[in-house]
């Protein structure tokens, strides 16, 4: 057996069977899919799910399966699902809110079923580290009659994914694999098994009575779905990932997901190991009724531990009530409903349940007497969004527009909600900016600006853009096109010019789409050309005011992090900018209005530029009214070329 560390140069998913590899949870999910015989994978990037498809894309050519970044979760779901109907084992992955986008297809897939195994990975984000809510997608399983499995560690994630594929294929039914941030983004040792022969193409056998969901067909399929669900409810009692530990106690703790790992640590800290019965459940929807009732039958009091909603708790209580089991059942009265679980959040509830004190030497990591400086998130130095926001506000002021509503969206540019920009007044979900802008444009007398990113534009904004043209919604649509899906780690989209595996393809241009759906005023700006950008924005604003309809401005400049990384790989020197203190008048425009992290005021309020943080965008030089900012050296032709690789 070979143990492989995280710093070895070979891709972690390419090590031979028998290797023990330190994997991120998402990498373990990907490896499980490969060992299950994956043939097709499609996803849309979203934290904490992104690394699943990234890992698969890295090794797709080696193993011979198909991988794609789709334009949104709905398309990803439909693509992978269709592949499963061709007899190809398929996976689609998304963050929890992404399943909302795919919900239509999800509900219908349960009626039709699958041919080859089909796994829907829902990576959830308790505590909302990078999300607008912390919904629990086990409810989707209950709603759609689709089983939901969840693991507590990277190792179990890999093994459970393989089991889920087999389960899906056995019942010809989709399966949801629920991960959470701590499983997706924690690392652990994973032992590799043999990768079988993969099947990446198959054949779709026509059967409209099953695949075409007109009402007459759907009514019959509904009957079959309920019959199948009864069989699934029985089968989960036999899952090897559900484990009962009988310690001869009259107390029982039922747990699932990350709760199991944290529980075992809590019991050790409290000194009560072996003094409580434990039922670990990995098949939370449907809950294994027979296992639960057998465990409850020998106990007087039980505690249910789960992350987020009391879904398992309600099932356990309902089963006990229906069968007349006299057992006092606790759950969210002792375990927090809000946020992700950890030892600190569990230990007090478990201690109360076990009727023991928390040890006096237990260190509460949430109450350390260490004052950690606040570090609010901010746009990167040289970020083109920063320049776009500044130019937008100056163009509005130049046009005499004062009363403005900024309908924002989800992405790096969400940080525009803060000072000094304040250009995000409403944010709902991906595509919600322009969607809500349509209503605001007709229900308000204020000037409406819809702001979105390029990946978001392709994801969910095109139908709303068509709606704005059709209904003559007076608004300025501003797309912040940094050429990539930047917030989740630089995944490509239809405008990037390459695919998930790096293959070169034709760009689908935002401007062409806008003109194609009937937008009459379409402008493209380079936010690092300040004067030209403001002039074009003023032109678009004037068009909206005069014609009472939509105009679109695409602010096109590649993500600075991507460009700088490319420059460093090519050995291109990054030019820096400096302040001539003799010319600086301490007006503060550069650090107050542009608010670049590389620029800070000195005690006398004159500006200072940190050469380590400066990425050479030149915007500060262009907006300085006293010409006090200059390049430390003449930018090379190579640097100009790197910046122009848009």
**pLDDT value at position 177?**
97
Burial class (CB in 10 A: 0-12, 13-18, 19+), 469: middle
> Over the stretch 605-642, which tens digit does the pLDDT of each residue have?
999 999 989 988 899 999 999 999 999 887 777 777 77
> Over the stretch 382-394, which tens digit does the pLDDT of each residue have?
899 999 999 999 9
Picking from 17-21, 253-257, 483-487, which range would have the lowest pLDDT averaged per residue?
483-487
Model confidence at 369, in pLDDT bands (50, 70, 90)? Answer: low
Q: What is the mean pLDDT of the chain?
A: 91
**pLDDT value at position 81?**
95
**pLDDT value at position 364?**
62
- Own/partner contacts of 643-646, CB < 8 Å, gap of 24 or more, are 643/528, 643/558, 643/563, 645/558, 645/563, 645/566, 646/483, 646/556, 646/557, 646/558
Structure tokens at 363: 């260190």
- Asked if 307 and 233 count as a contact pair (C-beta separation under 8 A), the reply is no
Q: Rounded to whole angstroms, how far apart are CA atoms 232 and 246?
A: 25
Q: Rounded to whole angstroms, how far apart are CA atoms 157 and 493?
A: 28
**What is the Rg, in whole angstroms, of the alpha carbon atoms belonging to the chain?**
28
Structure tokens at 2: 């070979």
Phi, psi of 239 (to 5 degrees): -65, 130
What average pLDDT does this structure show over 157-164?
97
- Asked if 165 and 198 count as a contact pair (C-beta separation under 8 A), the reply is no
**Alpha helix ranges (H) inside 174-276:** 181-184, 208-211, 215-235, 258-270
Q: Rounded to whole angstroms, how far apart are CA atoms 346 and 349?
A: 5
Q: Rounded to whole angstroms, how far apart are CA atoms 221 and 224?
A: 5
**pLDDT value at position 296?**
94
> Over the stretch 40-49, which tens digit does the pLDDT of each residue have?
999 999 999 9
Residues of the chain with CATH 3.40.50.970: 2-236, 384-557
Picking from 249-253, 310-314, 359-363, which range would have the lowest pLDDT averaged per residue?
359-363
What average pLDDT does this structure show over 184-200?
94
**pLDDT value at position 572?**
83
pLDDT at 525 over 50: yes
pLDDT at 343 over 50: yes
What average pLDDT does this structure show over 95-119?
95
Model confidence at 6, in pLDDT bands (50, 70, 90)? Answer: very low
Secondary structure (3-state) at 17: coil
What average pLDDT does this structure show over 551-573?
88
* pTM for this predicted structure: 0.89
pLDDT at 370 over 70: no
**pLDDT value at position 1?**
45
Residues of the chain with CATH 3.40.50.920: 243-363
Fold of 243-363: Rossmann fold (3.40.50)
Model confidence at 416, in pLDDT bands (50, 70, 90)? Answer: confident
Structure tokens at 357: 């004190």
**pLDDT value at position 365?**
56
> Over the stretch 48-85, which tens digit does the pLDDT of each residue have?
999 999 999 999 999 999 999 999 999 999 999 999 99
What average pLDDT does this structure show over 115-140?
92
Q: Rounded to whole angstroms, how far apart are CA atoms 576 and 599?
A: 12
DSSP 100-166: HHTHHHHHHHHHH--SS-EEEEEEE-TT-SSSS----THHHHHHHT--EEE-SSHHHHHHHHHHHHH
Model confidence at 91, in pLDDT bands (50, 70, 90)? Answer: very high
Model confidence at 169, in pLDDT bands (50, 70, 90)? Answer: very high
Query: Which of 3.40.50.970, 3.30.460.10, 3.20.20.100, 3.30.930.10 would CATH assign to domain 384-557?
Result: 3.40.50.970
pLDDT at 7 over 90: no
Nearest Cα neighbor of 39 from 196, 204, 200 is 200
Query: Which of 3.50.50.100, 3.20.20.220, 3.40.50.300, 3.30.70.20 would CATH assign to domain 572-646?
Result: 3.30.70.20
Picking from 191-200, 289-298, 408-417, 584-593, which range would have the lowest pLDDT averaged per residue?
408-417
Q: Rounded to whole angstroms, how far apart are CA atoms 124 and 409?
A: 20
**Which residues are CB-contacts of 420 (< 8 A; sequence separation ≥ 6)?**
592, 593, 595
**Which residues are CB-contacts of 429 (< 8 A; sequence separation ≥ 6)?**
97, 100, 132, 410, 460
CA triplet 559, 384, 42: central angle to 5 degrees?
Answer: 35
Nearest Cα neighbor of 311 from 284, 329, 293, 289 is 284
CATH code at 2-236 = 3.40.50.970
317 or 376, which is more confident? Answer: 317
| Top-ranked range on mean pLDDT: pick from 254-268, 354-368, 480-494 | 254-268
- Asked if 396 and 378 count as a contact pair (C-beta separation under 8 A), the reply is no
pLDDT at 3 over 60: no
Model confidence at 418, in pLDDT bands (50, 70, 90)? Answer: confident
Nearest Cα neighbor of 174 from 215, 123, 225, 239 is 225
């Amino acid at each position: 057996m070979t143990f492989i560390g995280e710093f070895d140069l070979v891709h972690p998913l390419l090590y031979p069977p028998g290797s023990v590899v330190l994997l991120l949870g998402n990498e373990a999910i990907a490896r499980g899919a490969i060992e299950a015989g994956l043939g097709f994978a499609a996803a849309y990037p979203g934290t904490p799910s992104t690394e699943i498809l990234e890992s698969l894309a890295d090794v797709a050519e080696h193993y011979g399966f198909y991988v794609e970044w789709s334009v949104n979760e709905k398309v990803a779901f439909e693509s992978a699902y269709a592949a499963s109907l061709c007899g190809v084992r398929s996976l689609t992955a998304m963050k929890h809110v992404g399943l909302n986008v795919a919900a239509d297809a999800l509900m219908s897939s349960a009626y039709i079923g699958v041919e080859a195994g089909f796994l829907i990975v829902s990576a959830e984000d308790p505590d909302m580290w990078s999300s607008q809510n912390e919904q629990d997608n086990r409810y989707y399983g209950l709603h759609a009659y689709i089983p939901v499995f969840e693991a507590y560690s990277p190792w179990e994630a890999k093994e459970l994914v393989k089991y889920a594929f087999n389960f899906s294929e056995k019942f010809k039914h989709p399966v949801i694999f629920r991960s959470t941030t701590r499983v997706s983004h924690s690392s652990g040792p994973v032992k590799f098994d043999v990768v079988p022969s993969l099947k990446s193409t198959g054949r779709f056998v026509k059967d409209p009575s099953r695949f075409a969901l007109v009402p007459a067909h759907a009514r019959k399929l509904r009957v079959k779905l309920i019959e199948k669900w009864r069989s699934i409810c029985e089968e989960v009692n036999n899952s090897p990932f559900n484990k009962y530990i009988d310690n001869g106690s009259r107390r029982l703790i039922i747990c699932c997901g990350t709760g199991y790992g944290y529980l075992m640590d809590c019991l050790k800290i409290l000194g009560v190991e072996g003094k409580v019965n434990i039922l670990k459940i990995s098949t939370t929807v449907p809950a294994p009724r027979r296992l639960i009732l057998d465990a409850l039958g020998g106990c007087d009091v039980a505690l249910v531990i789960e992350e987020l909603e009391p879904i398992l708790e309600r099932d356990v209580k309902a089963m006990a009530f229906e069968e007349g089991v006299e057992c006092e059942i606790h759950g969210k009265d002792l375990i927090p409903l809000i946020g992700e679980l950890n030892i600190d959040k569990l230990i007090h509830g478990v201690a109360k349940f076990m009727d023991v004190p928390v040890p006096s030497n237990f260190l509460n990591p949430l109450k350390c007497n260490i004052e950690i400086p606040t570090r609010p998130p901010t746009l990167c130095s040289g970020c083109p969004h920063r320049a776009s926001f500044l130019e937008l506000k100056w163009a509005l002021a130049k046009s005499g527009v004062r009363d403005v509503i900024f309908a924002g969206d989800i992405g790096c540019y969400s940080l525009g909600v803060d000072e000094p920009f304040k250009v995000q007044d409403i944010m709902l979900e991906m595509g919600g900016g322009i969607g809500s802008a349509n209503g605001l444009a007709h229900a308000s007398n204020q000037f409406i600006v819809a702001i979105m990113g390029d990946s978001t534009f392709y994801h969910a904004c095109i139908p709303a853009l068509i709606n704005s043209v059709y209904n003559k919604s007076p608004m300025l649509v501003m797309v912040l096109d940094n050429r990539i899906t930047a917030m989740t780690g630089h995944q490509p989209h239809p405008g990037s010019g390459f695919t998930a595996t790096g293959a070169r393809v034709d760009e689908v241009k935002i401007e062409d789409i806008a003109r194609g759906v009937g937008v009459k005023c379409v402008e493209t700006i380079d936010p690092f050309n300040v004067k030209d950008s403001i002039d074009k924005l003023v032109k678009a604003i004037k068009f909206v005011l005069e014609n009472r309809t939509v105009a679109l401005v695409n602010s096109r400049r590649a993500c600075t992090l991507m460009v700088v990384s490319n420059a460093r790989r090519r050995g291109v020197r990054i030019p820096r900018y400096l302040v001539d203190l003799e010319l600086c008048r301490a007006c503060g425009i550069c650090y107050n209005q542009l608010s670049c992290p590389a620029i800070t005021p000195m005690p006398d309020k004159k500006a200072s530029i940190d050469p380590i943080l400066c990425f050479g965008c030149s915007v500060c030089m262009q907006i300085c009214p006293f010409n006090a900012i200059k390049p430390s050296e003449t930018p090379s032709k190579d640097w100009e070329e790197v910046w122009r690789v848009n």
